Amino acid sequence: MKLIVALGNPGSEYARTRHNAGWMAAERVIDRLGLTPGGSKFHAATAEGRVAGEKVVLLRPQTYMNRSGLTVGEAVRFFKLEPADLIVLVDDVNLPVGKIRLRAGGSAGGQNGLKDIQRVLATQDYPRLRIGIDPPGRVPRVDYVLQPFSQAQRDELDPALDRAADACKTWIDQGIEKAMTTHNGE
């Protein structure tokens, strides 16, 4: 079984903000993988299906970014998963908009959702797919991530969201190493 967790903040005021790039990617993943949305579990909106014979559950935590570990911890324990069976979709201010980067593990890199997940799992060794949202420049980071993308950024972001969905499919079908080799640098 594979678990995809897309980080973001609930509420219409956050729907198209930079911090919700993970949720935007989740919409593409649901479409690309043919997952069926419905209901909630583990303090998250859910979508489920089968991909290449593998059960796949996608979660969008409804706990706000800084408490994402609650959802991940409950789901990992319930499904009895290893960290390698989880991938987290998350925004990254250190990547240019339009870029994605997969890693098998690593630091939170200042991302509070990842920090909380690592605290709950007591490891940083789980796959994550970072979606570039551009550095904030002179705007304070907290303000920048909670603002919507500019139209120019949106034009760059849309194809990256499709690549993120493709990367999730490769991860499910062939593992994180193949997904990194195939999709990093796109």
Question: DSSP string covering 1-48, please?
Answer: -EEEEE----SGGGTTBGGGHHHHHHHHHHHHHT-EEEEEETTEEEEE
183 is catalytic: no
- State the Cα–Cα distance between residues 14 and 62, nearest whole angstrom: 12
From the list 2, 5, 8, 19, the catalytic residue is 19
Q: Which residues contact 65 (CB under 8 A, 6 or more apart)?
A: 7, 8, 9, 19, 112, 113
Residues marked as catalytic: 19
